Amino acid sequence: MTESFAHLLVDVDGPVAVVTVHRPAALNALHAATIAELQMAFEALGANPSIRAIVLTGSGPKAFVAGADIKEMSVLDPLGMDAYARAGQRLCATIETLGTPVIAAVNGFALGGGNELAMACTLRIAADTARFGQPEIKLGLMPGFGGTQRLARLVGQGRALHMLLTGEPIDAQEAWRIGLVNRVVPAAEVLAAARATAAAIAALAPVAARLIIEAVVRGGGMPLADAVRLESALFGLVASTDDMREGTRAFVEKRPAEFKGH
């Protein structure tokens, strides 16, 4: 990538990109400029066929993203708040449907908009020191970046409502227990673990990965009968790819497959 960002660091190493929210003095809080830069970065990375997996993390040891920027939000009128929420929702939807797998390396606080950002990612790997929550109700607010919807889909309505209505955070082990995160590792290892997962995915068939994400994300909002019809259509589509022929041939020939992404 050639773009220069004020609030992000973007590092590309072969097929894996690492995007770091870089506002450590503000605990990487999401203000409008950061949201706009993340939108730009993910759109560019998603359009680059050489990038097969992305890691998203936060700068410094304390926070992944500690939330939305409350100082910026506090002066907005209702129309401004709606526009702010829509920008955050657009970013989360972009990440969720990017097609390129996105692994959140949650290195610290993931609260409010930070938890919403993590939930939009394909997978979540948490440091054992990470904490997750939706504390908006304590400020007289509610989640606005999709938190009321994705949280319930990930952990169930009852657990989601408890987190949303109390505003109390949970630790990484509890987040793993209820299914909010996929894995918990020591804090010093979280970025390396996310990079390793990204590299493992990047070595596999990228078209199949994109269609799997589409089946899960789109199908999750459909009745089961419609969702399995979507799956069969995508199954037929993936069967038309060179990668499918390479993968099956490599299996028969007992050799590693070399996927090209088409």
pLDDT tens digits along 167-177: 999 999 999 99
pLDDT for 96 beyond 90: yes
Task: Give the chain's domains with CATH numbers.
Answer: 8-202 (3.90.226.10), 206-252 (1.10.12)
Closest CA to 262 of 201, 250, 254, 247: 247
Q: Which of 3, 37, 43, 116 is catalytic?
A: 116
pLDDT of residue 70: 86
Give percent of the chain with pLDDT exceeding 90: 94
Q: What is the mean pLDDT of the chain?
A: 95
**Residue 262 confidence class, pLDDT cut points 50, 70, 90:** confident
Tell me how far apart the alpha carbons of residues 112 and 117 are, in angstroms, rounded to a whole number.
Answer: 9
pLDDT of residue 2: 46
pLDDT of residue 69: 87
pLDDT of residue 146: 97
Is residue 168 flagged as an active site residue? no
pLDDT tens digits along 70-82: 888 889 999 999 9
pLDDT tens digits along 159-169: 999 999 999 99
Is residue 72 flagged as an active site residue? no
pLDDT of residue 1: 52
| Burial annotation 127-165 (CB, 10 A radius, 16+ → b, else e) | bebbbbbbbbeeeebebbbbbbbbbbebbeeebbeebbe
Q: Which of 136, 174, 214, 253 is catalytic?
A: 136
pLDDT tens digits along 110-155: 999 999 999 999 999 999 999 999 999 999 999 999 999 999 999 9
pLDDT tens digits along 39-72: 999 999 999 999 999 999 999 999 999 998 888 8
